[in-house]
Amino acid sequence: MPILPTLRDDIRRHLRYSLGRVEEKAGLTDWRLALSFAIRDRIVDPWFASQEATYAKAGKRVYYLSMEFLIGRLLEDAVVNLGLLDEVKPIFEEVGLSLEDVLGDEPDAALGNGGLGRLAACFLESMSTLGCPAFGYGIRYEHGLFRQSFQDGRQVEQPEDWLKQQHAWEFERPDVVHSIGFGGEVTDLGGKTVWTPGESVLAAAFDTPIVGWKGRWANTLRLWAARPVEIFDLDRFNAGDYYGAAEPENLARTISRVLYPDDTTEEGKRLRLKQEFFFTAASLRDIVQRFESEYDDLSMLPQKVAIQLNDTHPAIAGPELVRILADEKGMDLAQAINVARECLSYTNHTLLPEALERWSRGLMMDLLPRHFQLIEQIDRDHAANHPDRAVAMLGDGDVLMGPLAFTMAHKVNGVSALHTDLMKDTVFAELHRLHPDRIVNQTNGVTPRRWLLSANPRLSSLITEAIGPGWIDDLEQLQKLEPMADDSTFREAYASAKRANKADLANYLGERGTIVDPDAMFDVQIKRIHEYKRQHLNILETIAIWQDMKDNPGAGWTPRVKIFGGKAAPGYVFAKQIIHLINAVSEVVNADPDTRDLLKVAYPANYNVTLAERLIPAAELSEQISTAGKEASGTGNMKFALNGALTIGTLDGANVEIRDLVGAENFFLFGMQAPEVVARRGIEGHARQAIDADPRLKRALDAISTGTFGHGFEGIVSNISEADYFLVASDFTDFHRAQREVDAAYADQENWNRMAILNTARSGWFSSDRTIRGYMRDVWRMETLAAE
Ligand code: 26Q
């Protein structure tokens, strides 16, 4: 076992010998990188030990295939999980730096859009904490999700450039490259089918170790970068065509250049399909190679390999694994299909019809001719086994990736109880009838190390003082806090932790131009901007109470700070109008002397993981107000409840389970339920009816129409008053009512704090450790390997 020098010496050594800096000239980034290298060194041994243990015990491994890993910053996670926080702090004080500043210097790795990518990151951390042997496989995007700023209240996107600085966490693996082909021809050589691609790129591996709690185990996040097969066209260069000479390289690298900024689907984009196949094929080649280095019978693959598809983005894994097994390894086709299915499982994250991936046959045939044939074959097989089936994965001209993923998976899971039920009743009703044991539920979770321990040190210390540190990797121990909800000393300590977090956030917002009172209620809605998430319902209600406040400023209002955060897909015009409206309302309301002490609207730009870590611990009210039936789960909702924010929400996604667990009396419910939503849409003129019945709603819409907040919002008003597919008008009145209930509850601070404590105490079930145990038991069928 190598002996490491003290952390202090090691940081100095890295500063000097890895970064080539003298201490006197070192800046924050130099120190941060030196610390990162020193910390990374300390992950390497547990990382190797984990690999060796898996190998020695011939353990099964999970391969989590995801287009997105929204990991954010890694340094604090690693320092905390290795238990080095207290050792690191004084080292930086000695050189006149605060550890907070050093940690804060790290750029966010924003290799994801939102919930799905962040879930993948929480899962990696939980798998390491539990000692579940796992690899995350994804794409090493050169540019992650765009940076957002506002100009005149409108969203402007700038490219993200996280690799501009040295990236301290990864190990490049020059020896791990796979050649990935596209297009070309399929030939039948007397029963043996051979695919000869027309073009190829290389997938180059970069590994990042992900260490779990107490450093007991570490897994690998392996991200693929696209590289040209041939570096350079020397002939073209010599002929004087300097740009042309670099073209092959540019084309190849384009595949891993940038994350698609859509969180539904980008219609039929060729490059997107190339990205999907690129990382899926590289990962499968890696998986099969690793298996073959240990075993020689490929029919045993399902005993050693579990491959989880994070949505349909890697669904081409079905046909590709069949192709490897049948075409390359010579396995009988029917057996290959069965072996592949026993390895694969698929997580669905959405029921929105427009978000279900489909590719045109033409594109699929052109880019992946052999896979197209295999999809036809899989479809025929399925039809032969189920003659009464109506669904097909080859729908009207398109290849449907949902049905393909379902057919090629032995388990298919939803991400909350309600979502899973709706999967069975709607999009996958037919397939569920044919395969009644395939769909299972695994309600999402979040890692308590990042979302409570690190993000909210004040509350964490208080909890640890009260019940000891066992909760950190056994979150249900938070239940021990329940009786303390009635202890006034504890309640006061809990409230002062929240108050201090609010003061920090008030400073942050103040520095960015919005002055807020830390004693007002902090009401937060942070998530991607989407019609179904209904940020426009929230801002509409904000306008309505502002109008009421102006009418009667002395009516005993509960002062509020309405905080919004989130990005819109660059091409999503309606979502961008919502952003513009929120900023326009903020401009008018914040400047209004009548309501100055009662209402503020803040919209800090560029919402990301790091900003979430700042906002959630300071939140008192969590807005989870999607149209019922549309939010698959939500995970922000869990982070808020855990950190003691009360939820105002609809019965949607995991809100249902949150309410069940924290208690209906500690949750502000409003709105139609999923079946009512469907019925309501059938009522002609439902929006008009709702508007006519609620003068407040009418007045708020009129204020927008008549230019109180400027112009350019006609689209929003007409959408809400006419089609109103997401039922903003129909849910407005009940939302407004529930908000007044919130006001009344807040007035009784003692009881509010009691409710907040009960939210924390009863949210332990939402740990992603619990979720991963569920996957291991029901989906992956495997055991943990970590020694205590
Ligand atoms: C697909 C094709 C082309 C371009 C983009 C995409 C794409 C990218 C990202 C489609 C969807 C996404 C992301 C979806 C997502 O984040 N879904 C959320 O997943 C969370 C974790 O399960 C749930 O909690 C949320 O309810 C769900 O909205």
DSSP states of 58-110: T--EEEEE-S-EEEE--HHHHHHHTT-HHHHHHHHHHTT--HHHHHHTSPPEE
Q: What separation in Å is there between the alpha carbon of 593 and the centre of ligand 1? A: 41
CA distance linking residue 507 with residue 614, whole number of Å? 11
- For ligand 1, say whether the CB of 266 is within 6 Å of any of its atoms: yes
Q: What is the CA radius of gyration of the chain?
A: 27
Pair of tokens at residue 453: 């321990």
- For ligand 1, say whether the CB of 276 is within 6 Å of any of its atoms: no
CA distance linking residue 222 with residue 643, whole number of Å? 32
- For ligand 1, say whether the CB of 114 is within 6 Å of any of its atoms: yes
CA distance linking residue 779 with residue 783, whole number of Å? 12
Q: Is 208 a catalytic residue?
A: no
Q: Which residues contact 774 (CB under 8 A, 6 or more apart)?
A: 442, 443
401 φ, ψ to 5°? -75, -25
Task: Report which residue type is found at 392.
Answer: A
CA distance linking residue 53 with residue 786, whole number of Å? 8
- For ligand 1, say whether the CB of 637 is within 6 Å of any of its atoms: no
Q: What separation in Å is there between the alpha carbon of 67 and the centre of ligand 1? A: 10
Closest CA to 514 of 603, 388, 576: 603
Out of 264, 279, 627, mutate this one to test ligand 1's pocket (max ligand atoms within 8 Å of CB): namely 264
565 φ, ψ to 5°? -155, 140
Per-residue pLDDT, 2: 53
- Residue 447, helix vs strand vs coil: coil
CB contact at 8 A, 649 and 561: no
- Residue in 14, 410, 502, 527 annotated catalytic: 527
Q: Is 659 a catalytic residue?
A: no
Q: Is 285 a catalytic residue?
A: no
Closest CA to 787 of 37, 121, 53: 53
Inter-CA distances, 387 with 51, 372, 379, 381, Å: 46, 22, 12, 10
- Residue 526, helix vs strand vs coil: strand
Q: What separation in Å is there between the alpha carbon of 561 and the centre of ligand 1? A: 29
Pair of tokens at residue 38: 């020193």
* 183, burial (CB in 10 Å: exposed 0-12, middle 13-18, buried 19+): middle
Q: What separation in Å is there between the alpha carbon of 636 and the centre of ligand 1? A: 14
Closest CA to 440 of 546, 348, 523, 566: 348
Task: Report which residue type is found at 437.
Answer: D
Listed as ranges, residues in the chain with pLDDT below 50 are none
Per-residue pLDDT, 505: 98
Write out pLDDT tens, residues 237-266.
888 888 888 888 888 899 999 999 998 888
Pair of tokens at residue 146: 């765009």
CB contact at 8 A, 590 and 550: no
600 φ, ψ to 5°? -135, 150
Per-residue pLDDT, 592: 98
Q: What is the dihedral of CA 150, 624, 702, 570, to 10 degrees?
A: 30
- Residue 473, helix vs strand vs coil: helix
Q: Which residues contact 606 (CB under 8 A, 6 or more apart)?
A: 147, 148, 149, 567
- For ligand 1, say whether the CB of 260 is within 6 Å of any of its atoms: yes
Per-residue pLDDT, 264: 85
- Residue 620, helix vs strand vs coil: coil
Residue nearest to atom 24 of ligand 1 (CA): 634
CA distance linking residue 654 with residue 651, whole number of Å? 8
- For ligand 1, say whether the CB of 568 is within 6 Å of any of its atoms: no
Distance of CA 613 to the CA centre of its chain: 14
Inter-CA distances, 394 with 161, 266, 372, 378, 406, Å: 39, 19, 10, 10, 13
Task: Report which residue type is found at 721.
Answer: S
- Residue 632, helix vs strand vs coil: coil
- For ligand 1, say whether the CB of 610 is within 6 Å of any of its atoms: no
Task: Report which residue type is found at 724.
Answer: D
CB contact at 8 A, 84 and 42: yes
- Residue in 12, 32, 40, 528 annotated catalytic: 528
Q: What separation in Å is there between the alpha carbon of 415 and the centre of ligand 1? A: 12
Out of 146, 262, 309, 349, mutate this one to test ligand 1's pocket (max ligand atoms within 8 Å of CB): namely 349
- Residue in 533, 536, 736, 762 annotated catalytic: 533
Write out pLDDT tens, residues 684-728.
999 999 999 999 999 999 999 999 999 999 999 999 999 999 999
Other beta carbons less than 10 A from residue 260's beta carbon: 18
- Residue in 208, 627, 635, 760 annotated catalytic: 635
- For ligand 1, say whether the CB of 415 is within 6 Å of any of its atoms: yes
Per-residue pLDDT, 251: 86
What's the distance, Cα to Cα, between the start and end of the chain in Å? 19
Task: Report which residue type is found at 326.
Answer: A
- For ligand 1, say whether the CB of 314 is within 6 Å of any of its atoms: no
CA distance linking residue 333 with residue 476, whole number of Å? 47
CB contact at 8 A, 154 and 588: no
Q: H or E stretch including 157?
A: strand 154-158
Q: Is 304 a catalytic residue?
A: no
- For ligand 1, say whether the CB of 514 is within 6 Å of any of its atoms: no
Q: What separation in Å is there between the alpha carbon of 358 and the centre of ligand 1? A: 15
Q: Is 528 a catalytic residue?
A: yes
Task: Report which residue type is found at 698.
Answer: K
Q: What separation in Å is there between the alpha carbon of 313 and the centre of ligand 1? A: 10
Closest CA to 317 of 351, 266, 279: 279
Other beta carbons less than 10 A from residue 174's beta carbon: 7
- For ligand 1, say whether the CB of 264 is within 6 Å of any of its atoms: yes
* Largest interatomic CA distance in the chain: 88
CA distance linking residue 692 with residue 751, whole number of Å? 36
Locate all alpha helices (DSSP H) within 426-567, ordered by sequence. 429-434, 448, 457-467, 488-511, 535-551
Per-residue pLDDT, 784: 86
Atom of ligand 1 nearest to the CA of 634: 24
Pair of tokens at residue 275: 């990205």
- For ligand 1, say whether the CB of 213 is within 6 Å of any of its atoms: no
Q: Is 635 a catalytic residue?
A: yes
Q: Which residues contact 644 (CB under 8 A, 6 or more apart)?
A: 459, 494, 498, 620, 756, 757, 759, 760
Residue nearest to atom 19 of ligand 1 (CA): 116
- Percent helix, strand, coil in the chain (nearest 5)? 50, 15, 30
- Residue 164, helix vs strand vs coil: coil
For the beta sheet containing 560-565, the strands, ordered from the edge strand earlier in sequence to the opposite edge, are 599-602, 560-565, 521-526, 621-624, 646-649, 668-669
- For ligand 1, say whether the CB of 70 is within 6 Å of any of its atoms: no
Atom of ligand 1 nearest to the CA of 631: 26
Out of 310, 311, 420, 531, mutate this one to test ligand 1's pocket (max ligand atoms within 8 Å of CB): namely 311
Question: CA 400, 401, 402, 405 torsion: positive or negative?
Answer: positive
- Residue in 349, 382, 411, 502 annotated catalytic: 349
Q: Which residues contact 530 (CB under 8 A, 6 or more apart)?
A: 263, 572, 575
Pairing of strands 668-669, 646-649: parallel
Per-residue pLDDT, 387: 84
Q: What separation in Å is there between the alpha carbon of 412 and the centre of ligand 1? A: 16
- Residue 271, helix vs strand vs coil: helix
Q: What separation in Å is there between the alpha carbon of 767 and the centre of ligand 1? A: 20
Out of 65, 116, 650, mutate this one to test ligand 1's pocket (max ligand atoms within 8 Å of CB): namely 116
Task: Report which residue type is found at 749.
Answer: Q
CB contact at 8 A, 470 and 477: yes
Residue nearest to atom 15 of ligand 1 (CA): 116
- Residue in 21, 639, 659, 680 annotated catalytic: 639
CA distance linking residue 629 with residue 652, whole number of Å? 6
